[in-house]
Amino acid sequence: MNKIYGYSRVSTSKQLSDSQIALLNRAGCDETFVEVQSGANRKRPKLEKLLGKLREGDTILVVKLDRLSRSLQDLLSISREIEEKGAHLRSLQDPLIDTTSPNGKLIFGIFAVIAEYERDIIRVRTLDGLAAARARGQHLGRQEALNQEQKDKLIKLRCSGQSLREIAQTFGVSKTTIQCYVRLADVP
C-alpha cells in the first residue's frame, strides 16, 4: 500500500510547526517527520530517515517547497532521489509541484534548467571577477607565509649554512615551507 509521508522543517522548535503538522495531517499523511534545524544544512536526520523509508508509489508531502530545502540545487537533488525510488513529491501551497503528474514533472524540469543556468552565470561571473582582480594586480589565493624581506633573510641564513629546521623555527613556519622557498630561490 502506498503511503503519504509528511515532512516539516522548522528553524526553531515552535516556529510554524504546529500549523504545518495540522495541514499535513488534514491532507492525510500516514506519518509526519518534523525536522528542527536550518534548511541550509543538508544534514537533516529526519529527512534522511524519511528518504530511507520511501518505497515505489509513496509520496512526500510538504506544506511549501522551502520547508524541504532553501536551495534549488538541493531541492532538485532531493527530488531526483525521490524519483529514483519511484516515489513522488507534492506541495500543498505550491500545487504545480506534484511529480505524480506530467505537468508537475515538467515544472521540475524547468527548475532544473534554471538551476543549471544559474550555476553557469555564477561560474562566468566568478571567472570575470578573478580576471579583473588579476588585471588590477591583486594577489589571488592563499596569503604567503613570509613577506619578501623574510624570504631574503631566510635565503641568507640558508647560504650561511643554517639548517632548514633552524630556519623554520626562526620564522615560526614548517620545514616544508622553508624547503619550498629555498627550492624556488634555487639555493642548495
Strand partners, 128: none
Same domain, 60 and 152: no
Q: By CB neighbour count within 10 A (0-12 exposed, 13-18 middle, 19+ buried), where does 84 fall?
A: exposed
> What's the number of CA atoms in the CB half-sphere (13 Å) around residue 98?
10
85 and 12 belong to one structural domain: yes
Clarify whether 101 is annotated catalytic.
no
131 within a domain of the structure (yes/no)? no
* Burial classification of residue 56, based on how many CB atoms lie within 10 Å of its CB (0-12 exposed, 13-18 middle, 19 or more buried): exposed
Please check the confidence at residue 13 and state whether its pLDDT lies above 60.
no
Domain end, chosen from 62, 86, 112, is at 112
- Confidence (pLDDT) at 187: 76
Q: Tell me the three cell numbers of residue 13.
A: 522548535
Select which of 8, 11, 13, 160 is catalytic: 11
Q: What residues make up the domain containing 158? A: 148-184
For residue 173, being part of any structural domain is answered with yes
Q: According to the model, what pLDDT value does residue 59 have?
A: 95
Q: All 3 cell numbers of residue 110? A: 524547468
Question: How is the beta sheet containing 59-62 ordered, strand by strand?
Answer: 31-36, 4-10, 59-62, 88-91
Residues 77 and 158 in one domain: no
User: 84 falls in which pLDDT band (50, 70, 90)?
Assistant: very high
For residue range 16-75, list pLDDT tens digits in order: 567 888 899 999 999 999 888 754 566 789 999 999 999 999 999 999 887 888 777 788
- At residue 100, the pLDDT reads 83
pLDDT of res. 14: 57
Domain limit, last residue, from 68, 89, 112: 112
Domains contained in the chain, number: 2
* Per-residue pLDDT, 113: 80
pLDDT of residue 60: 95
What would you report as the CA-atom Rg of the chain, rounded to the nearest whole angstrom? Answer: 27
Residue 9 has pLDDT above 80, yes or no: yes
Which CATH number does the domain housing residue 44 bear? 3.40.50.1390
pLDDT tens for residues 59-83?
999 998 878 887 777 888 898 899 9
Q: Is residue 41 part of a domain?
A: yes
Together in a domain, 93 and 154 = no
Q: What is the pLDDT of residue 5?
A: 96
For residue 35, tell me if it sits in a domain: yes
Q: What's the rounded mean pLDDT across residues 148-168?
A: 90
Contacts of 48 (CB under 8 A, 6+ apart): none
How does the average pLDDT of the chain come out, rounded? Answer: 86
Q: How does residue 103 score in pLDDT terms, banded at 50, 70 and 90?
A: confident
